[in-house]
């Protein structure tokens, strides 16, 4: 089996999972700036190809797209794939080390909370959902 073919398939499925859940892919630094500087609330899901992204983070992200209170925008960047867009998004996450998968909630361009990889890996999707629900309840309409 060709490893690159396999990885492309995994990457495409990971992208499709987020698009199907209603997240807008940000592919360039300019798209990141436009989304993250906008007024209101934005959830950024830092996607990746690791198992905890596929088994925990993406299912939690999909669930949150249907939560009663939700951000004005649901967006995603793909670590290791869309490197410039991911690097730009991480510039907004002041005080947090690069982490993927992860979630960041911003309000009016300012980081309000982060769910880092260590809070995802080894946990159940419901535990990630509960952290996101608390943040949505606090910061979203």
- What's the distance, CA 112 to chain centroid? 14
Rounded to 5°, the CA angle 56-29-133 comes to 30
pLDDT band at 135 (very low <50, low <70, confident <90, very high): very high
Domains of the chain, residue spans: 18-139
Q: How far apart are CA 118 and CA 19, in angstroms?
A: 24
Is the separation of the CB atoms in 70 and 140 below 8 Å? yes
Domain 18-139 CATH assignment equals 1.20.1250.20? no
HSE-CB for 130 with a 13 A CA cutoff: 7
HSE-CB for 59 with a 13 A CA cutoff: 13
Q: Could you say which DSSP state residue 4 is in?
A: H
> Per residue in 34-85, pLDDT tens?
999 999 999 999 999 888 899 999 999 999 999 999 999 999 999 999 999 9
Residues designated as active site: 50, 52
pLDDT band at 5 (very low <50, low <70, confident <90, very high): low
> Per residue in 91-132, pLDDT tens?
999 999 999 999 999 999 999 999 999 999 999 999 999 999
> Per residue in 51-60, pLDDT tens?
889 999 999 9
């Amino acid at each position: 089996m060709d490893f690159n073919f396999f990885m492309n398939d995994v990457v495409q499925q990971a992208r499709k999972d987020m698009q199907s859940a209603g997240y807008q892919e940000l592919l360039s630094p300019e798209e990141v700036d436009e989304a993250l500087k906008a007024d209101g609330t934005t959830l950024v899901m830092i996607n990746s190809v690791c198992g905890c992204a596929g088994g925990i983070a993406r299912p939690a992200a999909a669930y949150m797209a249907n939560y009663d209170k939700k951000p004005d925008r649901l967006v995603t960047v793909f670590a290791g794939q869309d490197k410039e867009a991911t690097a730009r998004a991480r510039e907004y996450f002041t005080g947090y080390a690069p982490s993927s998968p992860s979630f960041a909630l911003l309000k009016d361009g300012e980081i309000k909370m982060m769910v880092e990889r260590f809070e995802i890996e080894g946990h159940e999707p419901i535990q990630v959902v509960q952290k996101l629900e608390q943040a949505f309840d606090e910061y979203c309409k």
